[in-house]
Amino acid sequence: MAVDIPNFTLNTGYKIPSVGIGCWMGSPGGGEVAEKMCREALNVGYRHIDTAYGYGNEEFVGKAIRESGVPREDIFLTTKLPNHHHHKVRESLDESLSKLGVDYVDLYLMHWPQSFTEDNKPIPYGQSPTFVETWKAMEAILGTGKVRSIGVSNFSINLLEVLLRESSIVPATNQVECHPCLPSDDLKVWCEERGILLTAYSPLGRPGSFDGAPSLLGDPDVVSIAQRHNASPGQVALSWGVKRGTSVMPKSENPERIKQNITLLDLTDEEMTSLAGIHKKASMHRSLLSYHNYSSDGTIFGWTYEQLGWNMAKGGIVHSSD
């Protein structure tokens, strides 16, 4: 039986569960673990699964769906176009559908605005296929019955302004890193004003520490609120995300935490305000993800922060309040 959690309505009219299970396992693959995780999630009431071609586990996610006993139409399924397939959107979608073993996906996202060559080398900013060209190819698949909604991921206001100016279809969602350390308030308001749902990946801030990044779930305010509700710090962060109007995609392989993560808390206005202020603490306004340190030149998959439209310095540190 599905868990009773809020749904959001996309600009396409489709309903999307506010909490989904994210299938990035930390590195491409992890198929059998992802399958087990999705089985458990569906068993305890999740009805939203978020995967991607680049996660390397679509086959296993599809197997978990087929063998779950949950009707396909009751599951909101998201997958994503990889960077090295920006020049062949239709073919890549068909490949994902084949791996998943489904006839359609509920949401198809452009995973990143950057495009790569077939052998996974970044194509310089502004060169074809641009994200606008790729988006137009995504618009063309909407009438095929293979996707119900299309959206983007990792897009800033700057990039979205270009996209909307040169395209005819407004993205249904924009999936970005989002949590109390990186609330992206301006982006959230901008998207809401245009009917774009902001979706949070890594809404728990990736528990653990990368290069000295602070621990969101260890923050005293988060811990205090969790204790007050007899809940986990993760539940606090996720409940904050949903109550502020974003959908959240936590990932956990632990059955107990999988169930906790979809058990939302009724946070008070005072608690919401406290959580919304965490990023204002010293050294807390930042990304908590490791991809900021993948390159020595401070680029993210070949683009600078300026080209991405991210107000950050190397390491994902936000320059000033957004």
The rounded average pLDDT for each run of 10 residues, N- to C-terminus, in the chain (322 residues) is: 90 98 84 95 98 96 97 98 98 98 98 97 96 98 97 98 97 98 97 98 77 79 98 97 98 95 98 97 92 86 96 90 47
305 among known catalytic residues: no
pLDDT of residue 28: 79
Residues 55, 108, 201, 305: which is the catalytic one? 55
pLDDT of residue 3: 84
**Cα three-residue angle 69-75-80, rounded to 5 degrees:** 125
Which pair of structure tokens corresponds to residue 147? Answer: 């996707």
pLDDT of residue 322: 44
- Please write down the long-range contacts of 165-170, taking CB distance under 8 Å and 24 or more positions apart: 166/132, 167/132, 167/135, 167/136, 167/139, 168/139, 169/135, 169/139, 169/142, 170/11, 170/194, 170/195, 170/196
How deeply is 101 buried, as exposed, middle or buried, from its count of CB atoms within 10 A (0-12, 13-18, 19+)?
middle
pLDDT of residue 146: 98
Give, in order, the Cα–Cα distances in Å from 222 to each of 248, 250, 268, 276, 280: 17, 17, 13, 11, 14
pLDDT of residue 208: 57
